[in-house]
Amino acid sequence: MTIKDIARQCGVSVSTVSRVLNDRPDVSPENRRKVLSAIQRSNYIPNNTARDLVKTKSDAIGLVVRGVSNPFYTDIIRVIEEQVTARGYTLVMQQIGTCDDEVKRGAMMEREKRLRGLILLGGRSDYTPQELAPLNIPYVCCSYDNQYGTLPPDSYASVSIADEEEACRAVTELYRCGHRRIAALVSGTEDRSISQLRYQGYVRALAAHGLPLEQELVIEAGSFDIRQSYLAMQRRLLAGAQFTALFAISDNMAIGAMRALREAGRRIPEDCSVIAIDGLTVSDYINPTLTTLCQPMEHMGRRSVEILLDMVEHRGGPIRETAHTTLRTGESVRDIS
Amino acid sequence: MTIKDIARQCGVSVSTVSRVLNDRPDVSPENRRKVLSAIQRSNYIPNNTARDLVKTKSDAIGLVVRGVSNPFYTDIIRVIEEQVTARGYTLVMQQIGTCDDEVKRGAMMEREKRLRGLILLGGRSDYTPQELAPLNIPYVCCSYDNQYGTLPPDSYASVSIADEEEACRAVTELYRCGHRRIAALVSGTEDRSISQLRYQGYVRALAAHGLPLEQELVIEAGSFDIRQSYLAMQRRLLAGAQFTALFAISDNMAIGAMRALREAGRRIPEDCSVIAIDGLTVSDYINPTLTTLCQPMEHMGRRSVEILLDMVEHRGGPIRETAHTTLRTGESVRDIS
């Protein structure tokens, strides 16, 4: 089955078939219907040619994962893949480092892989319209949002938690348990990622409870990596920092810091309480089990795909959704009040 | 730019262009060269049509991940994606449950996604030639091998550790530290996966050192899941099983079991030593840090892609490679000799 066969069968010219295949507008609805229906029928012939003809419109959904090996993403990726596949699309995934530009990579994938839509898993929260201009397909920001308001609110789609508020809630939980010297472990305080947002939540909580912001208690790991977190905490402890509680912006970073605390002879939670945000599965098995605000990863992955495909299939526009965390009480926070 | 334009430009018929596009043999080398070169030139025009014309041969490499959310795979997937992308191919990933059939899924993907090659990450070790018949493209088994010898040795490609030997080595390490009552935590003892192979290594090590195989000390979790491992260990401890050391077939399962041991009041390593196989990053941060045989995940992922693309690009045939683990000594094993 060739394009010529389809043309003959439909009584149209080869270039008409070509126009339909290339999804161009200059074809009458009648001819488009005839050609697509002929192609559909030819699909029953299991040969490559027939498939090639049918596969003219790409079914590729791109997923750019920013932050290689971030265990927080594992569950979300699983759900996104499941949902994309179940809806008849093909997931094309690429992972980039936290220093790479997810929008540039997405735009490159859009052209190279002929994407229909794009999910960005992790990214900056301050895109400008100019930066996003290379993207010509619907996209959803998963697990982050344009929280610096640099985009018109109805111009993009996202599914995320309110990072600043949730961080504020975590720190307030430590305050409620009587802690007054509360350290924060972050990737960066000005990196325009969720790290900065969660750091702002920490600052807000301190202010709300009348606690001073002390630079000695702000620990920057420079990345979300478990080893960098371990080393950053180790250095700060060697420098003699004193605190009774730690807020880590992610479970993974908390686990790194907990080893440094332990090695410095600080027992958790007797000498130092630890709270984090994310809710990794493994955090519920470590010693002590970690108290953390769990993000609804399954829900976030599913909603990201639903919102994206509604846009791809012209059923809806961009939607911004805020998900809420659930406190999972582990053994890592002690009430000293 | 349409097929007709290409045909006119090359002085050939539209059906000749179509035959070239569909990679059919009935075209003269001269015409094929002319058409492909015209298409190549048209690539400089950034419109969909030109791209559609160029994208006639698929660049898709499939990855079927068996065992949803297995953290052991996270690093390997990252490396595979990096390598596949760097070599100009597109990675199409699908994940399936441990009860699903990876070969069937791969064969389905081969047709639906027009794969050029396939990497199976996790699977059974006893495929028959009949079961593999639906696969018409090169494939590599990553992290497992046809260790039951049901396939001709030169008919398939794999990159894996020698599971039975490595398990034997782990158990021997416990024996060397004076342990004589050594329990094994497995997914299943007869599931034809790496679980059975590592269990066989446990049995072999016991025999080699003159220790009896006791059913009380074989703990089957029924899956590789951390929670199921925790629950299985909890049940066995409640039943009063006595042992001074545990061999877990995976880090993830060990972490689940360690929580159950701790909750039952058994200190690690004072009351019970633990050793595992895999070498997850997180295992080096938990309390106590886990002694484990690390698989060279980076190497295994990279070699899987290299071997596959050598086959896809007709530079080489199927190769079976055995990788070796490295003992990472943590705090979880105590010498009681």
What is the band of A13 on the pLDDT scale with cuts at 50, 70, 90?
A: confident
CA distance B4 to A147: 49
Q: Closest approach of chain B CAs to the CA of A85, in angstroms?
A: 8
A286 touches chain B (CB under 8 A): yes
b/e B88-127 (16+ beta carbons within 10 angstroms → b): ebbbbbbbbebeeebbebbbebbebbbbbbbbbbbbbbeb
pLDDT value of position B23: 59
Instruction: State the pLDDT at residue B45.
Output: 35
Which residue did the predictor score with more confidence, B18 or B145?
A: B145
Give contacts of B68 with chain A, Cβ < 8 Å.
Answer: 78
Nearest CA in chain A to B13: A4
In order of start, what are the domains of chain A with their CATH numbers? Answer: 3-54 (1.10.260.40), 60-161+296-324 (3.40.50.2300), 164-294 (3.40.50.2300)
Minimum CA–CA partner of A228 in chain B: B285
Q: Which residue of B has its CA nearest to A286?
A: B286
CA distance B14 to chain A (A): 8
What's the pLDDT band for B24 if we cut at 50, 70, 90? low
Q: Is B43 on the interface with A (CB under 8 A)?
A: no
Of A94-103, A178-187, B14-23, B130-139, where does mean pLDDT reach its minimum? B14-23
Confidence at residue A50, expressed as pLDDT on a 0 to 100 scale: 42
pLDDT band at residue B74, thresholds of 50, 70 and 90? confident
Residue-by-residue DSSP string for B131-169: HHTT--S-EEEES---TT--S-TTS-EEEEE-HHHHHHH
**Model confidence pLDDT, tens digit, residues A215-225:** 999 999 999 99
The angle at the Cα of A215, spanning A212 to A216, to the nearest 5 degrees, equals: 105
Would you place residue A5 in the very low, low, confident or very high pLDDT band (cuts 50, 70, 90)?
confident
Q: Does residue B33 carry a pLDDT above 50?
A: yes
Which one of A65, A98, A278, A287 makes the best mutation probe of the B interface by having the most chain B beta carbons within 10 Å? A287
Q: How confident is the model at residue B40 (pLDDT cuts 50, 70, 90)?
A: low
Q: List, for residues A127-176, the tens digit of each pLDDT value.
A: 889 989 999 999 999 999 988 888 988 889 999 999 999 999 999 999 99
Q: Ranked by mean pLDDT, which of A74-88, A223-237, B115-129 comes out on top?
A: A223-237
Q: What would the mean pLDDT of B236-265 be, rounded to a whole number?
A: 97
B4 confidence band (pLDDT: 50, 70, 90): confident
Distance from CA of A264 to the nearest CA of B (A): 13
ipTM value, please give it: 0.81
Residues contacting residue B58 through CB under 8 Å, at least 6 positions apart: B113, B114, B115, B116
A2-6, B266-270, B283-287: least confidently modelled range? A2-6
- pLDDT at residue B137 greater than cutoff 80: yes
Q: Is the CB of A93 less than 8 angstroms away from the CB of B81?
A: yes
* Band (B236; pLDDT cuts 50, 70, 90): very high
Taking contacts as CB-CB distances below 8 angstroms, the residues of chain B near A227 are: 281
C-alpha distances in Å from residue A265, one per residue of A255, A286, A322, B195? 16, 18, 40, 38
**B4: closest CA of chain A, how far (Å):** 7
Q: Are residues B114 and A48, on separate chains, in Cβ contact within 8 Å?
A: yes
- pLDDT reading at B48 higher than 60: no
Cα(first)–Cα(last) distance of chain B, in Å? 79
Q: Using a CB–CB cutoff of 8 Å, tell me whether B24 touches chain A.
A: yes
Asked if B94 contacts B104 with a C-beta cutoff of 8 angstroms, the reply is no
